[in-house]
Amino acid sequence: MAQNSAAPAPAKKKQRKSQFAGMSKALVRRETISAYLFLLPSLIFFVGFVVIPMCMCLVYSFFDMGINFSSATFAGLDNYVEMFQDPVFIKGFWNTVLIVVVAVPTVTAFSLWVSSAIYQMNSKVRSFFRCVFYLPVVTGTVAVTVVWKWMFDPYNGLLNQLFGTKGYDWLGDAKTAIWCIIMILFTTSIGQPIVLYVAALGNVDTSLIEAAQVDGATKLQVFWKIKWPQIMPTTLYILVITTINSFQCFALIQLLTRGGPSHATDTIMYYIFDMAYRLQRFGYANAMGVVLAIIIAIFSAIQFKIAKTDTE
C-alpha cells in the first residue's frame, strides 16, 4: 500500500500511453464528462481562488501600481529588473533559503529520531510523547508566537532571567533573531512528522527485520537496508508538507520581528506583504510574488523528480 503513494508520477506515465486503450470513443467521452463533473466543485474553487488570482497577479506584475489601482501605468519588465537589484529582496531570498534549508532537514531528521526512539515503547508512553510533540501545533501558531515573544522580551522575558543575560535583545540582534524564528518554526512543525513516522515505522514488515537480525545485521544496517526504504513514501510526504510550512512561515515574522533588525529576518513572503501593505507598491509586490511562485514550482518539481527516481 505504501508503495502506491510514492509512485503517482510513474503510474500516471504508464497510464498515459495506454490510458484509453480498449475504450470506445463514446466511452471515452462519457468517462471524460463524468470525470469533469466530479472535478467541477473542486475546480470552481481552484480556478476561482487560485488560478485566476495567479493570472491577475502576473498581469499586475507588469504595472507600476500604487494604492489607487485606477491610476496604474504599464511598466513592462521594470518591476522585475528592479527586483534583482533590490538588496532587500536578495537578502529576503537568502533568508528564505536559509529557513527552508535548515528547517526541513532538521525537522525530518529529528522527527525520525524521536519516532524511532518511541515507536517501540509501550503504548501509553508512546502516545504521551506523540501528544507532547503535537501540542504546539494545536496550541496555534499565534498563541505560541506571542508566548515566545514574551519569553524573548529583553526586560521581562524568561530567557534573560534564566540565563542572566540582562537586557539582551534576542529578537533585536541580527545574530540571534533568525535562529529564534527557525527554532519556533521547528517546534510548531515537528508534531505531524512524528505522528506520521511512528505510524510508518509501526507498519514496517517485522519478519524482514527478524530475518536480518538472525543473519547478524547491526541495528544501523537494519535501519538503512530495511526500514528506510519502507518509510520512504512517508519521508517524501513529510518533506513536502514541511517545505510548504517553512515557505509560508509568516505569523512568526510579522509578530516577532517585522523582518528586522536590518532585514535580518526578512523573507520573500514577508517582504511581499510589507511592500504591498506598508509601502503600497502593489505592482512590485506582485512581481515578487510571481518570482516566488516560480521558485516554489521549481522546488516542487525537483522534489517530485526525486520521488520518481527513488521508487523506480
Partner 1 sequence: MKMKKLLALLLALCMVFALAACSNEDEKQSDGGDGDQTGTVKISIWTYPIGKFGDAEAVAELIEKFEASHEGITVEHQLLDYTNGDTQVTSAITAKTTPDIIMEGPERLVTNWGANDLMVDLSDLWTEEATADIAATSQSVVDACQLNGAYYEYPLCMTTHCMAINYEIFEQAGALQYIDEETRTWTTEDFVAAMEAIRDSGLVSTPGIVYCGGQGGDQGTRALVTNLYSGTYANAEHTAYTINSAENVQGLTLLKDMVANGSLSANASYEASQELQQFANGTCAVTFCWNASNKAQYAEDVSFTPFAMAFPSDDGQPELCGGIWGFGVFDNGDQARIDAAKEFIKFVCDDETQAKESVQMTGFFPVRASLGNVYEGTETEADAAEFLTLMPYMGDYYNVTGGWTEQRTNWWGMLQKIFVDGMDVQAAADEFVTASNANIG
Partner 2 sequence: MTSKAMRNQSLGYKIFVIVILTLLAIFFIFPLYWIITGSFKDNATIIAQTPQWFPLNPTLDNYVKLFKEPALRWLINTVGMAVGAMILTCITAALAGYALAKKRFYGKAILFTIIICAMALPKQVIVIPLLQEMSQIPWIHIDFSDFTTEMATMHDTIMAVILPTVGWPFGVFLMKQFSETIPTEILEAARVDGAGELKTFFSIVFPMLKPGVGALAIFTFVNSWNDYFLQLIMLNSRDEWTISLGIARLQGEMSSDFGLIMAGATLAAIPIVAIFIAFQKYFTQGIAMGAVKG
Q: Does 85 bind partner 1 (CB under 8 A)?
A: no
- Contact pick of 191, 226, 263, 292 for partner 1 (by CB under 8 A): 263
Q: Does 118 bind partner 2 (CB under 8 A)?
A: yes
- Contact pick of 106, 139, 176, 213 for partner 2 (by CB under 8 A): 139
- Contact pick of 104, 180, 226, 285 for partner 2 (by CB under 8 A): 285
Query: Contact letters (x/-) for partner 2, 20-39, by CB under 8 A?
Result: x--x----x--xx-xxxxxx
Which amino acid would we find at residue 183? Answer: M
- Strand pairing report for 73-74 and 63-64: antiparallel
Chain positions 195 to 254 lying near partner 2, rule: CB under 8 A, are 195-196, 198-200, 203, 233-234, 237-238, 240, 243-244, 247-248, 250-251, 254
What gap in Å lies between CA 208 and CA 48, rounded to an integer? 49
For residue 145, what are the CA distances in angstroms to 33, 72, 279?
48, 37, 25
What gap in Å lies between CA 191 and CA 257, rounded to an integer? 24
Toward partner 1, which CB reaches closer, 227 or 263?
A: 263
Q: Does 179 bind partner 2 (CB under 8 A)?
A: no
What gap in Å lies between CA 267 and CA 265, rounded to an integer? 6
Cis (ω within 30 of 0) for the bond into 105?
no
Residue 193's Cβ-count burial label (10 Å; 0-12, 13-18, 19+) is buried
Choose the contact partner of 77 out of partner 2, partner 1, none; CB within 5 to 8 A by kind.
none
Q: Does 26 bind partner 1 (CB under 8 A)?
A: no
Chain positions 203 to 262 lying near partner 1, rule: CB under 8 A, are 256-258, 260-262
Choose the contact partner of 278 out of partner 2, partner 1, none; CB within 5 to 8 A by kind.
partner 1
The helix (H) or strand (E) run that includes residue 106 is: helix 87-118
Q: Does 60 bind partner 2 (CB under 8 A)?
A: yes
Q: Does 135 bind partner 1 (CB under 8 A)?
A: no
- Contact pick of 3, 206, 221, 280 for partner 1 (by CB under 8 A): 280
For residue 104, what are the CA distances in angstroms to 172, 239, 253, 268, 281?
25, 7, 18, 17, 32
HSE at residue 224, side-chain half, CA atoms within 13 A, is 4
Query: Contact letters (x/-) for partner 1, 140-169, by CB under 8 A?
Result: ------------x-xxx---------xx-x
Which amino acid would we find at residue 63? Answer: F
